[in-house]
Amino acid sequence: KTGTLSNGTVENYLGTIRNIKKHPLAERKLKNVTSEHLQSFFDLLSFGGVHPDGKERKGYSKDYIHSFSAVMQQSFRFAVFPKQYITFNPMQYIKLRYQTDEVDLFSDEDMDGNIQPISREDYERLLAYLKKKNPAAILPIQIAYYAGLRIGEACGLAWQDVNLEEQCLTIRRSIRYDGSKRKYIIGPTKRKKVRIVDFGDTLVEIFRNARKEQLKNRMQYGELYHTNYYKAVKEKNRVYYEYYCLDRTEEVPADYKEISFVCLRPDGCLELPTTLGTVCRKVAKTLEGFEGFHFHQLRHTYTSNLLANGAAPKDVQELLGHSDVSTTMNVYAHSTRDAKRKSVRLLDKVVGND
């Protein structure tokens, strides 16, 4: 039932269905699909091999395979009841198997593959680089660094969500590009929950300066300054919201609702997630020390900084919007080699030096 799922989840499932339809399995009648057929299909997804199009591909990630499994399980359950097209669900006998990472026993490479937090010095270098190359990307990157927002959440932040007096953000929406609709869609956050994120004095000053700059740009651009809108679209039993941007010379349709986003380009249009992603890839290619850089690294840095300075894991979990505290600790608590070194050196203090 799509009405119970977020817009992003629905799009992911639709993409999965399109991929299933490309496989010969989709051409079989339901009554002729056996557990053996399905097991072979999922093994191909897991371990890779030659696909029906003749191309050899590597195995998919565990999360992507789970998406295929969820779609197949629901489809066959529905076929059993209420439709009664078949009498039993062949998916119940499927065992999802996954590739295990091969370890090179004789490699001399440092295998610390965890995402490393960005040092303060590197962060300042990043801002200096963006000031010259992509100034509009600075504000969302600052927000992610100081508040830990995801890329879609930073872009979806509106001024109504910013409380400078209480120094907190209300994170209620995210924006992403929908390839099938060829539009940007405003939807709920990843966990479909509103959360409050507190912030410090530095971000207060950043927001105040951004507000002043936007008012200045509005005056300079005049009629060519853009206003951002959203439009509600009903599709079956769900509603989603499309994003639009118009300048002052364009007529605004009656069903468009204005929204005042925080992260804007000089002309008033929203700084979009896809644009930010492109900027981050360019940074990774051209800025020394930022090889492999991506926007989510700022969120890792935010979390690592909090944990390293004694923040309670439960508080960090709520600030990040994770579903449980184990996610916060498993992903981030071991992210820095410095933290691990400090931990093992505690033993020296306990037992003394020999």
Residues above pLDDT 70, as percent of the chain: 84
pLDDT number for residue 189: 86
Alpha-carbon 41 to chain mean position: 28
Residue 82 preceded by cis peptide, ω within 30: yes
Q: How confident is the model at residue 15 (pLDDT cuts 50, 70, 90)?
A: confident
Is residue 200 packed enough to be buried (19+ CB in 10 Å), middle (13-18) or exposed (0-12)? exposed
Q: Which of 178, 276, 175 is nearest to 228 (CA)?
A: 175
Is residue 336 packed enough to be buried (19+ CB in 10 Å), middle (13-18) or exposed (0-12)? buried
> Which domains are delineated in the chain?
2-93 (1.10.150.130), 120-297 (1.10.443)
pLDDT for 86 beyond 60: yes
pLDDT for 1 beyond 60: no
Q: Are 186 and 175 in contact (CB under 8 A)?
A: yes
Residue 49 or residue 143, greater confidence: 143
Q: Which of 107, 94, 111, 117 is nearest to 46 (CA)?
A: 94
Q: How far apart are CA 278 and CA 281, in angstroms?
A: 5
Q: Which of 197-206, 279-288, 339-348 has the lowest mean pLDDT?
A: 339-348
The pair phi, psi for residue 33, each rounded to 5°, is -85, 120
Can you spell out the DSSP letters for 263-317? SB-TTS-B--HHHHHHHHHHHHHHSTT-TT--THHHHHHHHHHHHHTT--HHHHH
Q: Which of 33-37, 47-51, 78-82 has the lowest mean pLDDT?
A: 47-51
pLDDT for 350 beyond 80: no
